[in-house]
Structure 1
Amino acid sequence: MNGESHEDREQRIRKLWKTLDTRSEGQLDLPALKKGLRTIDHPLKNADDLLHDVLKAVDTSGDGRIQFNEFRVFVEHAEHELWQLFDSIDRDNSGGLDKDELRLAFRRAGLTISTSKLDQFFDEVDTNHDGEISFDEWRDFLLFLPASQSSLRAMLSYYSATTNVNQEGDVHINDTLQGFDFLPPPGYFIAGGLAGIVSRTATAPLDRLKVYLIAQTSPKEATVKAVKDGRPFQVLRNFGRPLVDACKDLWAAGGLRSLFAGNGLNVVKVMPESAVKFGAYEAAKRFFAKIDDSDPKHLHPTSQFLAGGIGGVVSQCLVYPLDTLKFRMQCETVSGGLHGNALIMQTAKKMWTQGKLLPYYRGLGMGLAGMFPYSAIDLFIFENCKNYVLARKAKQARCHEDDVEMSNMTTGIIGATSGAISATMVYPINLLRTRLQAQGTVLHPPTYKGIVDVTIKTVQGEGIKGLFKGVTPNLLKVAPAVSISYIVYENSKALMGLR
């Protein structure tokens, strides 16, 4: 095997044994084996679960310890299997494996591996970095791969289970969930924050328009008169009037500046909100992937849904007081009144005098009840549509999904769709929450005792359709906002090398 004599192999195995047996006890239990593997910096040095399997496979006597004779038999058997696998991949019989040979071998075995993962694996095994993997390097890295599973599929599973290359290029063992190991790299939070700032600023006028319409509780006189007079066509003609009239009113209140009222707070609020949402979502995906023993990119649908909801809830709890302050400030913006920082300070003081911290958290229950399904549905639809598109492109190109790219247009269309569907489904909850937040302001003078009270009064005064008041400008805002958010998020991740 590889031109090595029996004596040389025996000497090499004994040398490896002495290196592993750091205590010179002539046997290895689990702690001793682990310490020995750390001495040679083997990938299994911290993978406790796999080490139990190795100990069980080598310890044929079943006494919980490995003796030299057991170790030698195991090594000889494992090396024979690894040589057969190595030789089958080495198509040009050069005695070394290059990346093209490995890629072709995976393809022949019906496996797809991304270019980045192949590069990572190759760099790990090619210890002298000469551009090819020798059998010695191959053997040393895969020595403890169970002999009965010496196949490319088993090798790939072994590598994925033992090593995980993080975004900074450092290698760490992916053994047990310790501390906050499931937290994603900071880049995900940065990308999320940038996505929120860009999308929210671009759609600030539409958000302002939505809040203005939600705060109004009485229909326009023209519509009421048309209904009383029995003129249905006039009612239909006046259907879009609230939107037009609202635009006129807001422009009269302060021109372009009025349309961006609250955007300063939006930026202060949305950066941490979006950053935490996407960061918590990625963390939740890793957490559920650990529990399900699966890939974070291909979670079970239930886990995917829950991860999206958790991301939204965590971010909502963080920024809810700022959200309430923004809504109240927008509802205090009138022609000839205060603007900018002066209005923010006045609104904040007024809220504090009304009940200290309580007004800042009014409607939080409904906010969380609305945010969980909104975020869950939005991220669930986006991720599944994205995975479908990538899988289809990868199949057409006959490559791994990580090696194909999704255009910004496709990303935007999927994002707009997922955002519109989720926003429409939870809109009544958000409307009631907003009215609880805005109660007692100039534009929304009514006050409520709680969630049940605001629901009853809204339905009694405006009917079921009142629960969807402002849904049109909301969709006009949500669709482009979510679309822009996902485009910025995905591109920011790509720039930082995140997947």
Structure 2
Amino acid sequence: MTDDPTEKKFRAWFEKTDLTKKGKIDRDTLARAFREKEHPLFKSNDHIDQLFQKIDHKHDDLIDYNEFKSYFQKAEGEIKHAFDNIDKNHDGYLTKTDLRSYLEDNLNIKATDEDFEDFYKNVDQDHDGLIRYDEWRNLLLLVPRNQGSRLKTAFRYFNEDVDLSSDGDMTIINDYLKGVGYFISGGVAGVVSRTCTAPFDRIKVFLIARTDLSSTLLTKKREISKRNANHPPLNKIKSPLIKAAQSLYKQGGLKSFYVGNGLNCLKVFPEAAMKFGSFEIGKNIFMKIEGKSSTNDLSRFSTYLAGGFAGMFSQFTVYPVDTLKYRIQCAPLRENRQGIIWRTAKEMYKEGGLRLFYRGIFVGVTGIFPYAAIDLGTFTTLKQIMIRRKANREGKREDDVKLSNFVVLPLGAFSGTVGACVVYPINLLRTRLQAQGTFAHPYRYTGIKDVFKQTIQREGYPGLYKGLSPNLAKVIPAVSITYLVVENMKRALNLE
């Protein structure tokens, strides 16, 4: 038997919890220990399940001493760190003023006087008006650390988000409100981002629809090489981007760069809302599958999967609007634009019924999976790495660290650029399927194999990357702006 007092303490805690004296604690035993300790949360089956999953690292539905010690050793260190941060004068006690200031300033919890008093009474177990460290520790040790904060989790359970049913189960009402917040944040971010980058999207579609080789970046390089051999004047060489911009401007002025943007915004709000909202739902589903108590602990593989499925779901919901948008953008610019949305929709329905709106749906939905997985997964992973490094460098807890906007912008640009480059050929083929038979793209296809075959025959493999340059010029600021708005709205709505 060791003489280490810390080891003795953890051993004593384990033995008090191991009511069956088998050396292993199952879920029911942990629940019984909660009841016997008369812990304020002993009626919460949801709370006990989360705590058990957090301690059970092996996921064998049993907690041995090493798992127990590992969890509580780490938990006690975090709890002590938080206590010292709140106890500004270091007198060993937390007053109501200390605790309320920390809730408001650090956790963005704006509690009513009644809610705060109820919570303080639950922590102040001897009701002497002060919270000692042992009272603080005894309560929070048995609270799972969700979303980076035990204190926030405890406050939610005790007050604003708790609704106990007749069976004693907890319904976390605020989770639903936060879910709506994620959808709203994503939708607003999508509209702001898309409007800012509409001209780039317009040029991209213009180049994709065209099939002459002069509009591809790779072919343009070949042309320049040939011209260099004959020493032509450099000022006569124009990039395909400049040519496309000039063509659009001549046909409709500045307005031509925003053709379809109104429809784009109607489409992108639900698309971005579904993307970011379903991403959070997906992470929570995988969190339960992996037995984690927080999405911050989710494996990278599951994070990328959640991102991919979120992209597929969002793409499917707005696909008909997407097809309609491409049809409008590929129409002659000089024709009457008034009522073009309904006119084009009627023409499409007359031509092929509802099926026409879903042309290319399979390649569109499956093609978006790798992009969304790489985009959302990479951003989330890099964000967590940056937060972890900053927390270690500044000696703070991860939940106390906030990344500046100057860090969020390049993270979004990188994740979006990598994803866009990987799946661009799929995006091009899907767009041509949607735009086939239009003024700008009169060719017809029988399916994804046919559009691929015809593209290679007419333009070679460089044709698969036609419009990549304006797409990247759009993606870099677009994704950066999207994540910037999303992250700031999440903070404003207290979603993290």
Aligned residue number for residue 424 of structure 1: 421
TM-superposed deviation, 1:257: 0.7
SS in 1 for 2:107: helix
Aligned residue number for residue 307 of structure 1: 306
Deviations 1:207-248 (A, max 9, x none): 000000000012239979x86995565799788522111111
Contact 2:209-2:330 at 8 Å conserved across structures: yes
TM-superposed deviation, 1:493: 1.2
CA distance in 2, matches of 1:93, 1:216: 71
Aligned residue number for residue 186 of structure 2: 192
Q: Pairwise mapping of residues 259-408 of structure 1 onto structure 2 (< 5 A)? A: 259-294=257-292, 295-334=294-333, 336-339=334-337, 341-408=338-405
Deviations 1:167-189 (A, max 9, x none): x9323589799999788431111
Contact 1:98-1:131 at 8 Å conserved across structures: no
Contact 1:44-1:51 at 8 Å conserved across structures: no
Contact 1:195-1:488 at 8 Å conserved across structures: yes
Shift in alpha-carbon separation, 1:348–1:119, aligned structure 2, 3 A:
closer
Contact 2:183-2:277 at 8 Å conserved across structures: yes
CA distance in 1, matches of 2:490, 2:370: 25
CA distance in 1, matches of 2:51, 2:385: 36
Aligned residue number for residue 133 of structure 1: 124
TM-superposed deviation, 1:116: 2.6
Shift in alpha-carbon separation, 1:258–1:230, aligned structure 2, 3 A:
closer
CA distance in 1, matches of 2:124, 2:174: 35
Aligned residue number for residue 217 of structure 1: 211
SS in 2 for 1:338: coil
Matched, 1:203 2:197: yes
Aligned residue number for residue 61 of structure 2: none
CA distance in 1, matches of 2:370, 2:300: 14
Aligned residue number for residue 461 of structure 2: 464
TM-superposed deviation, 1:430: 0.2
How many residues are matched?
A: 414
TM-superposed deviation, 1:96: 5.5
CA distance in 2, matches of 1:288, 1:221: 44
Q: Pairwise mapping of residues 444-455 of structure 1 onto structure 2 (< 5 A)? A: 444-455=441-452
Contact 1:390-1:406 at 8 Å conserved across structures: yes
Q: Pairwise mapping of residues 51-66 of structure 1 onto structure 2 (< 5 A)? A: none
Shift in alpha-carbon separation, 1:179–1:352, aligned structure 2, 3 A:
farther
Aligned residue number for residue 247 of structure 1: 245
Shift in alpha-carbon separation, 1:240–1:414, aligned structure 2, 3 A:
farther
More deviation, 344-353/359-368: 344-353
Deviations 1:428-479 (A, max 9, x none): 0000000000000000000000000001111121111111000000000011
SS in 2 for 1:349: helix
TM-superposed deviation, 1:155: 3.4
Matched, 1:479 2:476: yes
Name the amino acid aligned to 2:241: L
Structure 2: stretches of 5+ with no match in the other structure = 1-27, 53-75, 100-104
Contact 1:95-1:135 at 8 Å conserved across structures: no
Instruction: Please give the TM-score of this superposition, normalised by the length of structure 1.
Output: 0.70
TM-superposed deviation, 1:406: 1.4
Contact 1:206-1:474 at 8 Å conserved across structures: yes
Shift in alpha-carbon separation, 1:163–1:284, aligned structure 2, 3 A:
farther
CA distance in 1, matches of 2:44, 2:474: 50
Matched, 1:409 2:431: no
Match of 1:171 among 159, 162, 184: 162
Contact 2:96-2:120 at 8 Å conserved across structures: no
Structure 1: stretches of 5+ with no match in the other structure = 1-29, 55-81, 103-113
Deviations 1:33-54 (A, max 9, x none): 99x98xx994232316839999
Shift in alpha-carbon separation, 1:429–1:183, aligned structure 2, 3 A:
farther
CA distance in 2, matches of 1:412, 1:228: 34
Contact 1:329-1:344 at 8 Å conserved across structures: yes
TM-superposed deviation, 1:399: 1.6
Shift in alpha-carbon separation, 1:176–1:239, aligned structure 2, 3 A:
farther
Contact 1:193-1:271 at 8 Å conserved across structures: yes
Name the amino acid aligned to 1:325: L
CA distance in 2, matches of 1:291, 1:95: 41
Shift in alpha-carbon separation, 1:485–1:51, aligned structure 2, 3 A:
closer
CA distance in 2, matches of 1:182, 1:463: 50
**CA root-mean-square deviation:** 4.7
Name the amino acid aligned to 1:493: K
TM-superposed deviation, 1:157: 3.6
Shift in alpha-carbon separation, 1:172–1:283, aligned structure 2, 3 A:
farther
CA distance in 1, matches of 2:214, 2:245: 14
Name the amino acid aligned to 1:470: G
Deviations 1:250-274 (A, max 9, x none): 0111101110000010111011111
Contact 1:164-1:171 at 8 Å conserved across structures: no
Match of 2:48 among 29, 47, 50: 50
SS in 2 for 1:454: helix
CA distance in 2, matches of 1:383, 1:406: 12
Instruction: Please give the TM-score of this superposition, normalised by the length of structure 2.
Output: 0.71
Deviations 1:183-204 (A, max 9, x none): 8431111111110110000000
CA distance in 2, matches of 1:53, 1:189: 28
CA distance in 1, matches of 2:225, 2:92: 93
Q: Pairwise mapping of residues 8-27 of structure 1 onto structure 2 (< 5 A)? A: none
SS in 2 for 1:165: helix
Structure of higher CA gyration radius: 1
CA distance in 1, matches of 2:311, 2:455: 26
Identity %: 41
TM-superposed deviation, 1:101: 10
CA distance in 1, matches of 2:449, 2:231: 30
More deviation, 458-467/171-180: 171-180
